[in-house]
Structure 1
Amino acid sequence: MKKKVALLTVVLSIAMIVFSGSMTAYAAHQCTKTVIIGDVNLDGSIDAIDLALLYNEVYYAVPFANPLQYIAADVNNDFSSTMYDYYLLRDYLLGEISSFPAGETYTVYYGDLDGDQSVTANDKSLLSNYLLGNINLTSRQYVAADVNGDGSVNAIDLAIITQYINGQIQHFPVCPQN
């Protein structure tokens, strides 16, 4: 029996070493952040202040302070904030529409750039390509990529995601442990 346990331990150890680069870590085990679509100022309600902030961002190019605001402002789910989002938000506040094409909420799964609710080598590849200037990230991907919570996406986030995929860390810095 001891030989079987020892053999199993060795086999599992080797498997962890061999497959560590392709391990999948499930983002559901990490913290998430849910954004109310239309709640541009992130105060928990949709009102005229949200409309004014969206107008200032679209018409006057006044950037939002928090990247989550871009997700909330994209009420038509086309991955950008435009006057069309403004008109939809206005119509919602006037009671002319009762919902947004983007739905009611969006949940950010930190580290999950491809939207499959798991953190894999594909997410790492997307972030690498962004950092190399080969691709742009949507606002949703940008927020998910900022795993250290410093408001920017850079090589530090890539290193943290790599550590998470390789099993070297169990949670992201943006996610306080309970």
Structure 2
Amino acid sequence: MGGPSIRSARPGDLSVLPALEAASDTLLDGMLPTGRRELPPPATVPELAASRHILVAGDPPAGFARLEETDGQVHLEQLSVHPDAAGAGLGRALVEAALDWARQHGYTSMTLCTFADVPFNAPFYASCGFEVVQDPDGELAAVRQHEIRLGLDSLGKRVAMRARL
């Protein structure tokens, strides 16, 4: 039996992704050191439509990976899995598909920013081959500064990570 079905998002998928992202964010309840979960609102449909690429798991989508470009490399802007599908391997399948997509499109690395101490954040990404970037520079540093302005760092320690392709 094969893994979950991962595909490129179709225009009709975009309208369900903001609600999927909001539902996925509830998985952080009680996981952050501060106990608070005051995350920025999910991406809007126009923001999603402007993404470099979006991969979805399932039809209708139960998870998605939103890819952007940072410093000429692919950046995993958002990985969301619906709580009803959590623990079924969708997140890992989406990350692997995103890495494959990046390789096929000539990228040599993928970056992301995430919570350092949430088990399904930095430790999960480390198990997928990502390493912490100690001193992000360029556009990746700008992404981190944007996260700080959004208040994400007040919820828990954040890190930038990179996987070499």
Q: TM-score, normalised by structure 1?
A: 0.22
User: Which is higher, the Rg of structure 1 or of structure 2?
Assistant: 1
